[in-house]
Copies of this chain bind each other. A is one copy, B any other.
Amino acid sequence: MSEAATAQAARAAIGDSEFDRDTAVTLREPGVYDIDLSAGWTIISAVNGGYLLAVLGRALSDALPHSDPFTVSAHYLTASQPGPAVVRTDVVRTGRTLSTGQASLFQYDDEGREVERIRVLASYGDLDALPDDVRTTAAPPVIPPMEHCFGPEDGPAPVEGSSAITERLMLKLDPATLGWALGAPSGKGEMRSWFGLADGRDPDPLSLLLAVDALPPTAFELGISGWVPTVELTVHVRCRPAPGPLRVSITTRNLAGGFLEEDAEVWDSADRLVAQSRQLARVRLS
C-alpha cells in the first residue's frame, strides 16, 4: 500500500469511531435513552459541553422524523460527570421539512433521583434536501498550514486545562491565538484552530456539535484563566461537512459584567461555512 492508502486505511469511519461509540444511546422506552457518559471527553473532571450536546443531538436524531440538527439551543443547568445518564426526549412539532424536539439529560444523585444537567430545544431537517447555492461571500478564517500550528502534544508549553479530551481530538491552534500558553495573552478575544477527531473519523453534523465547543476559551487570550462555564449554547448546522479537517474560529466581542459570548464558525475542507454557534458563558473576573 502507498503511504496515503495506509493512512486512509487507519482512519476510523463515521459510525465506527471513538466519537460514535461514546455518543451511542440505548433506547430504554419510546423517547427515553440510556448512555454511559465517557470519561474520555473530560476537561479536568468536567465533561465537555460539546460532547454532551452531541449525545443529546444523537438522541433527538433518533426520536425525530428528521435526522440532521439544523438549530440546537442548550441551557446548561448543572455540571455533568462521567457515568450513567438518561436522555428524555419530547417531540414538539413535526413538519414536512423541519421537526422540533426537546431533550433533557439527567444524571442521578446519591439517592438515585434524577438531576437535570442540560435542557435543549432543537429543530431538525434533512441537510441533503437543501439546495446547494451559497449567496453570500463570507470567507474562511486565515489559519496557517497545519504544520505551522500547535497542539497539546507539541509542548513544552503546557496547554492549561488539558485533559482526557485532548487525546480524542486533533487540535492544531493558530500561533497567533496561543499567546496565553506562553504567558502572553494577546488581549484579543480570538481563538482559531484546525479541528478533527484523533482517530481520523471525518466530520458529520453530529461532530459539528462537538467542534463548536472544543477549543480553549477565548477568555484565555483575554488574560483570564480558569473555568468559563457555559450558560447557554446555540448551534446552527448549515451544511453537511466535506471529509477532512475543519477550521474553527471563535471570537468574543463583549466581555462585561462577568459574562462573555463566544461566537464560533466552522469551515470544512471545501471552504463551506458548515456551522455557526454562539454561547453565553460566565467568567470569574480576578
A residues with CB within 8 A of B: 70-71, 73, 75, 77-78, 92-93, 98, 100, 102, 116, 119-123, 127, 130-136, 138, 189, 222, 231-232, 234, 236, 238-239, 252-261, 265, 272-273, 276, 278, 280, 285
Contact = CB atoms under 8 A, between A and B. Distances in A.
Given A71-B231, A278-B234, A119 B135 contact: no
Given A70-B280, A119-B100, A133 B222 contact: no
11 contacts: A70-B231, A71-B75, A77-B93, A121-B232, A123-B232, A133-B256, A134-B256, A136-B189, A136-B255, A138-B253, A138-B254
A136 B285 CA distance: 13
Given A123-B232, A280-B71, A280-B236, A132 B77 contact: no
Contacts of A231: 70-71, 98, 123
B130 A257 contact: yes
Binding site of A, secondary structure by majority: helix, strand, loop or mixed?
strand
B257 A273 contact: no
A257 B123 contact: no
A256 B135 contact: yes
B133 A257 contact: yes
Contacts of A122: 75
A17 B236 CA distance: 36
Given A100-B75, A123-B231, A130-B257, A278 B280 contact: no
Contact of A273 (B98, B119, B189, B256): B256
A275 to B, nearest CB: 10
